[in-house]
């Protein structure tokens, strides 16, 4: 957490802040009274903490701009919208998931999610979101496409030249601990990281890494981790093998703990790796004894 107390308000430029939380919440002052948020935290309690900062500073929340629809980024939406009447915006398909959050665990699991997956960490409360387009952004804001981690994730560059990067990269510590970060589209994710690697800004604020003035080294570290995971999967597929066995090997090799949530999150990511490796000609599939098996080419 970078040494900051949880839900501390940290100023990074004249008008830009973030609230330190499991997924950083951006806050930008639009004028002396009005502010907007970039994401809202992981639940109603996060929303309450945000409200305390608003009240303490006599700020009025006008809008929440969601970078994407993962539950830890939209969890405070409903509470804050009901408390303040603010508008909520989310990009593209992320808007649909924000309005109908059961779509997230359903997508992760690949079917109707059982009760073990219908909790606040994977399924936020619904909020009345509108589609995020450049036209609804405050003056001087730039919306930055950052697909890959999730469907149509975006980041923002503010007039103060602060860039909020959402979940397009993780800290070294997080990657070293958990190894397999969640990815929806591996090809898009790598393209996004290459774009981020060349970015310059006054300050970068990733949701799951420390705010920093230089981002290229961390972007490369994330690229290298994707390459490592991909090579390991190809190695596991030296002979025909089922998805479940591949997942078992990865959990065993990396010392990960299997539970329903990790099965859904890591399992979905591994399926995305398999799709990418098949589409790029490194893996093939065969059907044998009514099973789908993967094998390296």
**Count: domains in the chain:** 2
Determine the pLDDT at residue 6.
84
276 and 258, same structural domain? yes
Q: Please, which residues have CB within 8 angstroms of residue 228's CB and are 6 or more apart in sequence?
A: none
242 and 212, same structural domain? no
Among 182, 198, 226, which residue terminates a domain? 226
98 and 177, same structural domain? yes
108 in a structural domain: yes
CATH number for position 142: 3.60.15.10
2 in a structural domain: no
Determine the pLDDT at residue 4.
54
- Alpha carbon distance 245, 243 (integer Å): 5
Full domain range(s) for residue 253:
235-296
240 and 202, same structural domain? no
46 and 126, same structural domain? yes
29 and 114, same structural domain? yes
- Alpha carbon distance 25, 90 (integer Å): 15
221 and 146, same structural domain? yes
- Alpha carbon distance 166, 297 (integer Å): 35
CA atoms 18, 21, 24, 27: torsion sign? negative
Q: Per DSSP, what are the bridge partners of residue 287?
A: 292
| Inter-residue contact 25 to 4 (CB < 8 Å) | no
195 and 60, same structural domain? yes
197 and 259, same structural domain? no
| Inter-residue contact 295 to 284 (CB < 8 Å) | yes
3 in a structural domain: no
Among 196, 226, 256, which residue terminates a domain? 226
For each of the chain's 297 residues, which pLDDT tens digit applies? 345 568 999 999 999 999 999 999 999 999 999 999 999 999 999 999 999 999 999 999 999 999 999 999 999 999 999 999 999 999 999 999 999 999 999 999 999 999 999 999 999 999 999 999 999 999 999 999 999 999 999 999 999 999 999 999 999 999 999 999 999 999 999 999 999 999 999 999 999 999 999 999 999 999 999 999 999 999 999 999 999 999 999 999 999 999 999 999 999 999 999 999 999 999 999 999 999 999 999
CA atoms 282, 93, 96, 168: torsion sign? positive
1 in a structural domain: no
147 and 60, same structural domain? yes
Among 178, 206, 226, which residue terminates a domain? 226
Determine the pLDDT at residue 1.
37
């Amino acid at each position: 957490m970078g040494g900051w107390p949880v839900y501390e308000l940290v100023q990074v430029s004249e008008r830009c802040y973030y609230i330190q939380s499991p997924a950083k919440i951006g806050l930008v002052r639009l004028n002396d009274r009005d502010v907007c948020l970039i994401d809202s935290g992981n639940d109603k309690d996060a929303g309450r903490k945000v409200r305390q900062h608003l009240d303490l500073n006599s700020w009025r929340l006008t809008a929440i701009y969601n970078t994407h629809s993962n539950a830890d980024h939209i969890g405070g939406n409903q509470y804050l919208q009901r408390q303040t009447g603010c508008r909520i915006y989310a990009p593209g398909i992320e808007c649909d998931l924000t309005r109908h959050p059961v779509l997230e665990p359903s997508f992760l699991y690949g079917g109707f999610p059982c009760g073990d997956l219908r909790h606040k960490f994977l399924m936020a409360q619904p909020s009345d979101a509108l589609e995020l387009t450049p036209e609804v952004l405050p003056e001087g804001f730039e919306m930055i496409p950052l697909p890959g981690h999730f469907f149509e994730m975006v980041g923002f560059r503010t007039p103060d030249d602060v860039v909020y990067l959402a979940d397009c990269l993780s800290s070294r510590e997080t990657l070293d601990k958990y190894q397999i970060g969640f990815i929806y589209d591996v090809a898009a994710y790598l393209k996004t990281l290459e774009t981020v690697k060349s970015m310059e800004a006054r300050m970068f604020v990733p949701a799951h890494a420390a705010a920093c003035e230089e981002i290229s080294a961390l972007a490369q570290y994330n690229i290298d981790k994707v390459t490592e995971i991909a090579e390991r999967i190809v190695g596991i597929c030296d002979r025909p093998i089922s998805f479940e066995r591949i997942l078992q090997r990865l959990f065993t090799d990396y010392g990960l703990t299997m539970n329903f949530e990790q099965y859904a999150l890591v399992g979905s990511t591994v399926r995305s790796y398999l799709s990418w490796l098949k589409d790029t000609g490194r893996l093939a599939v065969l059907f044998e004894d009514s099973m789908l098996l993967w094998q390296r080419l």
